[in-house]
Amino acid sequence: MNGSRHTMDWQIGGGRAIHSDRTRIMGILNVTPDSFSDGGHYADAENAVSHAYKMASQGADIIDVGGQSTRPGHIPVSPEEEWRRIEPVLQALCADESLIISVDTYYPEVARKAMELGAHIINDVTGFRDPLMRQYAARYKVGCVIMHDITLDEKEDVCAALVSFFQKRTAECMDDGIERERICLDPGVGFGKSYEQNVSIARRFGEICFENYPMLAAASRKRVIGMSCGNPPADERMPGTIAYHTACILGGANLIRVHDVAEAAQAAKVADAILHSYNE
């Protein structure tokens, strides 16, 4: 932990920006029947929209809408099915200018349709690997979350691997027209990494903060949390999630992606106060 973090504001869609004055909260809205933690709870569009507003009232700065699970061993759904699930939710949420909407997808056509409706951010768990995804994001001038999803050898130094990936992928994105200030980086906790590597990300977060880009920590209820505390059910991992994310914030994370918004928002305020005291 280094007691400091990058301060570049993150430019997103609709001429808006996510400011770096405090930790920002991205609330998870899974419009799916099979997500590892809350699958089926918000598969109905009306329930999903209601939950989005609840998260906003609890302190979510961003609502991250996803139409398929990306848990280990998931069975991908088609782009058509993913869009069928999220379209009515996006129709309702994107019409409200008080909300900032992110869409969790790796399908370029789903992303394009979402951006046409007014989504502000594309959160791609394949890290904008697809050139078409990069081209669409550049055209619509949205925020882009680039996540690391490459499987690492257990002996690899995770921080060195992440920095190398971020260097390569950010260059590819900018070559395809995505503006630098629209990029946010996610180390991809739980994607292709060992338990030890996932723990190291939190412990050494300052080492992966790269060239002043905003950094997202997204470990909510994941396996690394469970394995650290006796493997409770996913919906009982909120305290462990807070501990992990607090370490990331103190190491330099600007945003955290969470299921439990109210608790995360309170913890982030305390972490921000501690971080501020480092810099006085």
Catalytic residue positions? 222, 257
- Please name the residue that has the structure tokens 């394009």: 112
CA distances from 127 to 56, 184, 226 (A): 26, 10, 25
**Apex 196 CA angle, 264 and 242, nearest 5:** 10
**Residue 115 in tokens:** 């951006």
User: Phi and psi for 27 in degrees, rounded to 5?
Assistant: -90, 135
Q: Are 183 and 166 in contact (CB under 8 A)?
A: no
Tell me if residue 200 falls in helix, strand or coil.
Answer: helix
Q: Are 201 and 187 in contact (CB under 8 A)?
A: yes
Short-list 196, 177, 182, 256, CA closest to 5:
256
**Residue 43 in tokens:** 């598969």
